[in-house]
Chains A and B, each alone.
Chain A
Amino acid sequence: MSEYEEEVKNMSFEESIEALENLVKELEAGGIDLDRSIEIYEKAVVLRNHCRQILDESERKIQKIMESSGAIKTEDFDID
């Protein structure tokens, strides 16, 4: 499972929630053995935690971008 945790770390939020949805659908469809069910469950928990982490911990940047004579300049932008 730690291998899967490593894999999930590099997944975007969109990929994670899509993977989570697919696992839930597979489990809901049934017809799978107990081992696979438990694997799905464990993977889903990893994905859920990853999603939560992205939601709770990400911070945004607010920037201003300008181009003058072909050079692009980026600087932090503050509304106040």
Chain B
Amino acid sequence: MAETISVAELNSRVKELFAKTPALNDIWVTGEISNLKKYPSGYYFVLKDSASEIHAVMFNSARSRISFEPTENMKVRVFGSIGMFVPRGTYQFIVEVMEKSGLGDRYLAFEALKKKLGEEGLFDQEHKRPLPAYPKRIGVVTSQSGAVIHDIITTSASRYTADIILAPAMVQGEGAAQTIVAGIKLLNKQGVDVIIVGRGGGSIEDLWPFNEEIVARAIYESQAPVVSAVGHETDFTIADFVADVRAPTPTGAAAIILRDKNEIRNEVESYVNRLNRAMISILDGMKHTFEILDNKVAPKAAIEGLNIYRINLDDISRRMDRCLIDKISSMKTDFITLDSRLQPSRALEEMVHHRTMVEVSLDKIRTSAQQEMRNSRMRLVSMDGRPESLINARMSTLESSYESSVKRLEGLNPLNVLTRGYSMITTVDGKVLTSADDVKVGDRINIHMRDGLAEADITKKEMKR
């Protein structure tokens, strides 16, 4: 008959079985921490992967051996054994050692590749190519569905205009590195000015393709300069070390490659401003030079001579004016004398006529004087010297021409004609007689002489044949 045992006995036997099975003891297990609880005795959590899960505990004794704090969702590799909790009939994994999953191997691989490529010189500053100032075509190697291409297109919209050519690539998982390499090569074949290689943030596994040697070498061999934008600002990959420029994010990459349009506009305007300033300064300089030359050509003596000349001209002008005024008023007096004997309206006409002639003459003299002054000034400036004698010569010419004008004017004064022995004949009512036809025998006439008047009768008349 089969034995009958207690529940406690059963669980004890299971515990014993676990303990005796090597496959369940001192083994490494990988999984993700979830449902993590911290108690004074240690950490209690569920270790799981996509297919299964198991309760796990790490007592304080083990906890003191790790340097990090376990967190929810952390991927870990744990070393330990299966243990049975008899009172509850449950089993769990007793963790003795815990390390972050993959870190060990990946970290070693990363460091080894970094060291190797570094020694080969792939990271050397001298291999870094400058980015083009104004690229026309930007190649992008990234996922066609991710935020990276979206961020790059959006950010560059307000910046210097450049075409964007996307070479779609897988950015995580098996085979991703190969598609990234193909993208870099394709864009180089197609001809772009610069290439962005990037992906958004993720776990170290997600970023891993950018730590692979083939990607590093493709970046190094790229004809076009490469800007890396992998993960978050705190993530560093081998791609970042090889790239010509490392951008903190995809948005940052677009901003590094393409300048802000307004900033460029301001720069263009600043050149124009500098141009204007330089032009003004050149013109000022030229003005200054002209002033110096001007002083050389027209020395003080010439200017002084010119001033004397001007004063003399003014003086002559004043004298001419006064002389003419005197002459006119003397004529006026003469006319008034005649007025009583001549027809008043006629006399006035004569006077206006004379006055006009005097004014015309005066204008001519003035114009000619001004012209002479201008000519002389030009000659002075160009000749640099002997202004005095020129002025004097010109002044005597002016004075003599003035005097002859005055003489001509005097000749026109009807009184002067009378002075020379001629007489003027009028009818008794003042009408000037110039033709024998106007008189007949017996008419009474007035004979006007320089200083008086005689009355006479016509006694005989004879016409010229």
Contact = CB atoms under 8 A, between A and B. Distances in A.
A37 B162 CA distance: 35
Most buried by A among B133, B134, B144: B134
Given A27-B279, A64-B144, A59 B161 contact: yes
Given A17-B268, A63-B166, A24 B186 contact: no
Contacts, number: 100
B181 interface: no
A34 B286 CA distance: 8
A20 B268 contact: yes
Interface in B364-403: none
Contacts of B272: 44-45, 48
Most buried by B among A14, A37, A65: A65
A62 B165 CA distance: 6
B268 A79 contact: no
A52 B240 CA distance: 36
A67 B167 CA distance: 9
Contact of A41 (B134, B265, B275): B275
A13 B259 CA distance: 13
Given A17-B268, A48-B272, A52-B268, A65 B133 contact: no
A72 interface: yes
Contact of B168 (A23, A54, A60, A64): A64
B254 interface: no
A17 B434 CA distance: 93
Given A64-B144, A77-B144, A41 B279 contact: yes
Nearest to A59: B161
A55 B164 contact: no
How big is chain A's contact interface, by range?
35 or more
Nearest to A13: B134
A79 B149 contact: yes
Contacts of A17: 134, 267-268, 271
A63 B163 contact: yes
B279 A60 contact: no
Contacts of A32: 282
Contacts of B167: 64-66
A12 to B, nearest CB: 7
Given A28-B274, A77-B144, A37 B166 contact: no
Nearest to A30: B282
A72 B268 CA distance: 39
Contacts of B268: 17, 20, 48, 51-52, 55
A55 B279 contact: no
A67 B163 contact: no
A10 B132 CA distance: 19
Nearest to A49: B268
B278 A27 contact: yes
Contacts of A21: 271
Nearest to A29: B278
A62 to B, nearest CB: 5
A40 B161 CA distance: 28
A40 B285 CA distance: 17
Given A30-B285, A41-B279, A64 B271 contact: no
A65 B182 contact: no
Contacts of A45: 272
B163 A28 contact: no
Contact of B264 (A23, A24, A55, A65): A55
A24 B134 contact: no
Contacts of A48: 268, 271-272
Interface in B146-194: 149-150, 153-154, 156, 160-168, 182, 186-187, 189-190
A68 to B, nearest CB: 11
Given A55-B265, A60-B162, A62-B163, A14 B133 contact: yes
29 contacts: A12-B136, A14-B133, A14-B134, A17-B134, A17-B267, A24-B271, A27-B282, A28-B274, A30-B278, A30-B281, A30-B282, A34-B286, A44-B271, A51-B268, A52-B265, A54-B161, A55-B261, A55-B268, A60-B162, A62-B153, A64-B167, A64-B168, A65-B190, A66-B168, A72-B190, A77-B144, A77-B166, A79-B149, A79-B153
Given A66-B186, A79-B150, 18 more contacts: A12-B136, A14-B133, A17-B267, A17-B271, A27-B278, A30-B282, A32-B282, A34-B282, A44-B271, A48-B271, A48-B272, A55-B265, A64-B144, A64-B165, A64-B167, A65-B167, A66-B168, A72-B186
Interface of A: 12-14, 17, 20-21, 23-24, 27-28, 30, 32, 34, 37, 40-41, 44-45, 48, 51-52, 54-55, 58-67, 72, 74, 77, 79
